[in-house]
């Protein structure tokens, strides 16, 4: 089996996304998580682009020892010198330099000729080798480049010292067949190809980044460039978790492996979501909230009989604590029984049948049935256990400390508290904690405007964990802070 080198560019291509910028301390935290995840190469930044990026490459080099630390440059002397300087503390450093390879880039962007590009490429690879032994060369927009010219460029940079050659589909243009054929052509037509590793770097403009990367690997590439959660310019880059799990799930047929510690996938994904403030779409493969959630009756019944009926990955293998069985109008008796068993109510089939008929009526009116609803359906006074938000006020602004006051009720009694916080949401959640006092970790906080206007209803989604188990809460209101209080109390109620 051949090893596929995982080149992570979350902190370079991923971090270019507007709103995802991290400070140096946050970048070090991400870099350490990526090291623990087992990436082979960590692209830490583009040092010439800003003093902050330069400093991040320096600090990551000091704090991370296993992966090779890589710095991006244009094929320009001062870029290469700056990258070399930024990498001086790296135990293993790589300069990643390159230039456009498609006629579109050569003519419209660089306003030059193919001959001049070959000269510059040769010069840049050679110049970078003066500073480090490990030089990766990127042929930008290779996805749209003329094949024979691309082959010449690859041959030239290898002859001038490139140890890795990156064939980026910069605009996400190719289909898997085309991209795979491109890599196969290079493997068969570049005479010195055995002197370098071919790397695939695919963008997701047509939703094909992962498929194209796998096609490239199947045709001889041995490094893949990825980001966690697939973040990156426009529609994003190839996602690390998808590639790692495809290679693991199909290792025999692909005859490939990676050194990724797949158990760390989910915690790393959560860390990056939190620090980059970039929510993962719920149906995202492997790390989306619904990736292991089952809501239709047939699937729930199948999963409860044997997980493998509807899951090709055990969620625990990628660090997701458990599969979720969501109770909706499409759930069957098996899912209802499972949830009631977990709540400690073991019903015989006749009683279950009665509860199921009631359940369907409520489920038709509500989207999702939570434990509180279930207890009410069973005629059990759920209010004796659950808290409700009675009233909430918050004072906040950029000139003074946020303070929240909240009143909750449970079983006819009311409870009040007040708390300061680092912003109105933090103050509100702390005020709730003072009353409910349940030790939980806030895993995710998400606000979404339903239609986008400023007078819109905001939907708040909160995920908490307690003793390794995840609980979700929802709240919706035009006042998003009040909705946050409702979502948090909802999640805490489920954890009781």
Taking CB within 5 to 8 Å according to partner kind, which of ligand KIV, Zn ion, none is near residue 204? none
Kindly indicate which of the ranges 164-172, 212-220, 306-314, 387-395 contains the residues binding ligand KIV, using the contact rule CB under 6 A: 164-172
The string of DSSP codes covering 81-101 is HHHHHHTTT-SSEEEEEEEE-
Q: Contacting ligand KIV (CB under 6 A), which of 166, 238, 273, 370?
A: 166
Tokens 């409910």 correspond to 436
Nearest to 358 by CA among 347, 227, 10, 78: 347
Q: Contacting ligand KIV (CB under 6 A), which of 27, 201, 289, 299?
A: 201
CA atoms within 13 A on the CB side of 192: 16
Q: Strands 388-395 and 293-294: what pairing?
A: unpaired
CB of 212 or CB of 484, closer to ligand KIV:
212
Kindly indicate which of the ranges 56-64, 166-174, 354-362, 448-456 contains the residues binding ligand KIV, using the contact rule CB under 6 A: 166-174
Q: Which residues bind Zn ion (CB under 5 A)?
A: 13
168 binds ligand KIV (CB under 6 A): yes
Taking CB within 5 to 8 Å according to partner kind, which of Zn ion, ligand KIV, none is near residue 227? none
Minimum CB distance to ligand KIV, residue 144 (Å) = 11
Minimum CB distance to ligand KIV, residue 94 (Å) = 13
Minimum CB distance to ligand KIV, residue 203 (Å) = 6
Q: Contacting ligand KIV (CB under 6 A), which of 170, 258, 268, 323?
A: 170
Minimum CB distance to Zn ion, residue 231 (Å) = 11
Q: Does the CA dihedral 193-196-200-201 come out positive or negative?
A: negative
CB of 39 or CB of 462, closer to ligand KIV:
39
Helix and strand numbers (H, E) in the chain are 17, 18
CB of 69 or CB of 481, closer to ligand KIV:
69
Q: Strands 5-8 and 223-226: what pairing?
A: parallel
Q: For helices 51-63 and 24-37, what crossing angle results, to 10°?
A: 40
43 binds ligand KIV (CB under 6 A): no
236 binds ligand KIV (CB under 6 A): no
Question: What is the footprint of ligand KIV within residues 403-442 (CB under 6 A)?
Answer: none
Taking the C-alpha atoms of residue 315 and residue 320, their distance in angstroms, rounded to an integer, is 5
Kindly indicate which of the ranges 162-170, 283-291, 353-361, 384-392 contains the residues binding ligand KIV, using the contact rule CB under 6 A: 162-170
Beta-carbon contacts of residue 136 (< 8 Å; ≥ 6 apart):
70, 94, 95, 96, 97, 98, 162, 163, 164, 165, 166, 199
What is the SS3 assignment for 196? coil
Question: What is the footprint of ligand KIV within residues 116-155 (CB under 6 A)?
Answer: 138, 140
Taking CB within 5 to 8 Å according to partner kind, which of ligand KIV, Zn ion, none is near residue 166? ligand KIV
Tokens 């992966």 correspond to 67
Taking the C-alpha atoms of residue 287 and residue 285, their distance in angstroms, rounded to an integer, is 6
Q: Contacting ligand KIV (CB under 6 A), which of 8, 13, 53, 371?
A: 13
Beta-carbon contacts of residue 350 (< 8 Å; ≥ 6 apart):
none
Kindly list the residues in this chain that would bind ligand KIV in the complex (CB under 6 A): 13, 138, 140, 166, 168, 170, 201, 203
């Amino acid at each position: 089996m051949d090893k596929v080198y995982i080149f992570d560019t979350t902190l370079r291509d991923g971090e270019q996304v507007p709103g995802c910028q991290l400070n140096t301390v946050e970048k070090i935290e991400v870099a350490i998580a990526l090291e623990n995840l087992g990436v082979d190469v960590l692209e830490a930044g583009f040092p010439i682009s800003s003093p902050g990026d330069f400093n991040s490459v320096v600090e990551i080099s000091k704090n991370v020892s296993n992966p090779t630390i890589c710095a991006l440059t244009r094929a320009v002397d001062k870029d290469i010198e700056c990258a070399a300087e930024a990498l001086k503390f790296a135990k293993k450093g790589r300069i990643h330099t390159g230039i456009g390879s498609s006629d579109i880039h050569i003519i419209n962007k660089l306003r030059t000729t193919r001959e001049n590009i070959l000269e510059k490429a040769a010069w840049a690879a050679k110049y970078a080798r003066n500073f480090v032994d490990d030089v990766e060369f990127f042929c930008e927009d290779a996805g749209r480049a003329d094949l024979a010219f691309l082959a010449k460029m690859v041959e030239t940079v290898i002859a001038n010292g490139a140890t890795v050659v990156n064939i980026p589909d910069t605009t996400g243009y190719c289909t898997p067949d085309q991209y795979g054929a491109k890599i196969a052509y290079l493997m068969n037509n570049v005479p010195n190809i055995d002197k370098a590793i071919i790397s695939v770097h695919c963008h997701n403009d047509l939703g094909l980044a992962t498929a194209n990367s796998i096609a490239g690997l199947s045709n001889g590439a041995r490094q893949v460039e990825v980001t966690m959660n697939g973040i990156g310019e426009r529609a994003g880059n190839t996602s690390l978790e998808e590639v790692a799990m495809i290679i693991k799930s199909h290792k025999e047929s692909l005859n490939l492996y990676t050194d990724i510690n797949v158990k760390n996938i989910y915690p790393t994904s959560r860390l990056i979501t939190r620090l980059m403030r970039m929510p993962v779409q719920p149906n995202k493969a492997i790390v989306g909230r619904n990736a292991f959630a089952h809501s239709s009756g047939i699937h729930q019944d199948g999963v409860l009989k044997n997980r493998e009926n509807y899951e090709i990955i055990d969620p625990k293998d990628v660090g997701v604590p458990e599969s979720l069985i969501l109770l909706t109008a499409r759930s069957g008796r098996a899912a209802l029984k499972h949830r009631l068993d977990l709540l400690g109510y073991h019903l015989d089939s006749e009683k279950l049948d009665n509860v199921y008929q009631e359940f369907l009526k409520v489920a038709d009116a509500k989207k999702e049935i939570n434990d509180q609803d279930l207890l009410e359906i069973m005629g059990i006074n759920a209010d004796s256990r659950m808290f409700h938000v009675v009233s909430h006020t918050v004072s906040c602004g950029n000139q003074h400390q946020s303070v929240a006051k909240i009143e909750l009720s449970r079983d006819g009694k009311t409870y009040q508290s007040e708390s300061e916080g680092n912003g109105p949401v933090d103050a509100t959640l702390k005020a709730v904690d003072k009353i409910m006092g349940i030790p939980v970790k806030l895993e995710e906080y998400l606000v979404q405007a339903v239609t986008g206007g400023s007078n819109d209803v905001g939907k708040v989604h909160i995920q908490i964990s307690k003793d390794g188990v995840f609980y979700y809460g929802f709240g919706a209101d035009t006042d998003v802070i009040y909705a946050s209080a409702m979502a948090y109390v909802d999640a805490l109620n489920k954890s009781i």
